[in-house]
Amino acid sequence: MSNPANRATNLIDENWDARVAAKYDRRVMELFKPYDALHSLVKLALSRTLPDRAKILVVGAGTGREIIHLGLDNPGWTFVGVDTSQDMLEIAKKNLAKAGLTSRADLIHGTIENAPNFQFDGATSILVFHFLKDGEDGSDSKSQFAFGLSKRVMPGGSLVVADLVGNLGESRFESEFELWETGVLAEAHNPESWAGLKSVREMVQWVSPEREVDIWHKAGFNMEGLLLKWLLLCCWNMTKI
C-alpha cells in the first residue's frame, strides 16, 4: 500500500493519476516559471513554419495546454493528442471544451505507437521525453520514441521538443538544480511544490544535452536551434529531414 505521507506530498508520479492530474495545471506553473513563455515560443516557432491548415501531433498532451495555445490563434489547425494517462486526458477534454476546441482535437489514450501512422505537418513533445525510462530488456525507449515521431512527421515538417536535460551529479547540474530549488522555495510558498521538485529529480531519466541531440539527429531530425534554456530545461526546434 502506498504511504499516505507520500500521497500527500508527492505531486508528480509516474502514473499521472487523478490526484496528480487535478493539481497539474497550477503546480506546473509553480515549478516551471517560464511555462507560459515556453508554450508561447512553441506557438511562434510552429506558426512560422506550418501552413494555415496544418495537422499537428501532440505527444504527452497532458491537460491540453499546447493544443489550446496553438489552436486558439490558428483556426485552421487540427490536432491529435496522445497521452498514457487517462486522468490527464479527462482534464484535457474539459479544458478543450471550455476553449471551444473539441471538434479540432482527437485525444488518444496510449503511447506514440497508438497515434495514427500518417504524416503530420508538425509535432510537439513538451515535458515528456525526460520521463522515458529504458525497458527492463535494455530497450532504448528515448530512441524508440524519437523514431516513432520521425515516422509520423512529414519530410520538411516541424518538431518542437522541450525537456529537462543534464548530467546528474555533475557540479554544473547540481548548482542549476540548487538554484531551481531556491527559486521554488522562495516563490511558490508551498511545501508541496518543493516536494514535487524532489520527485521530478528522481523520476527524470537524465541524459546530457549532447546525447539528446544525438538521439533526435539519428531519428532523422535536423536541429534548427535552441529556443529556450532555463536552468535544466531546454526547448529545441527541429525539422524532419
Ligand X SMILES: C[S@@+](CC[C@H](N)C(=O)[O-])C[C@H]1O[C@@H](n2cnc3c(N)ncnc32)[C@H](O)[C@@H]1O
Which stretches of the chain bind ligand X, using CB under 6 A?
A: 16, 28, 59-60, 62, 65-66, 82-85, 88, 111-112, 126-128, 131-132
Which of 131, 177 has the CB closer to ligand X?
131
Rounded least distance, CB 196 to ligand X, Å: 11
Between 82 and 219, CB nearer to ligand X: 82
Q: How far is the CB of 67 from ligand X (least distance, A)?
A: 9
Instruction: Determine the Cα–Cα distance for residues 206 and 56; give it in Å rounded to an integer.
Output: 27
3-class state of residue 30 by DSSP: helix
Give the residue at shortest CB distance from ligand X.
Answer: 62
Helix 191-203, helix 171-188: angle, nearest 10: 150
Q: Pick between residue 123 and residue 126 the one whose CB is nearest to ligand X.
A: 126
> Which candidate, 29, 238, 42, places its Cα nearest to that of 149?
238
Set of cell numbers at residue 5: 505521507
CB of 171 to ligand X, least distance (A): 27
> Among residues 34 and 220, whose Cβ is nearest to ligand X?
34
Which residues lie below 8 Å from residue 9, measured CB to CB, with a gap of 6+? 191, 192, 195
Q: Are 45 and 122 in contact (CB under 8 A)?
A: no
Cβ proximity to ligand X: between 54 and 233 the closer is 233
Min CB(78)–ligand X separation in Å: 18
Beta strands 153-164 and 221-230 are unpaired
Beta carbon of residue 213, minimum distance to ligand X (angstroms, whole number): 20
- Contact, 240 vs 153, CB < 8 A? yes
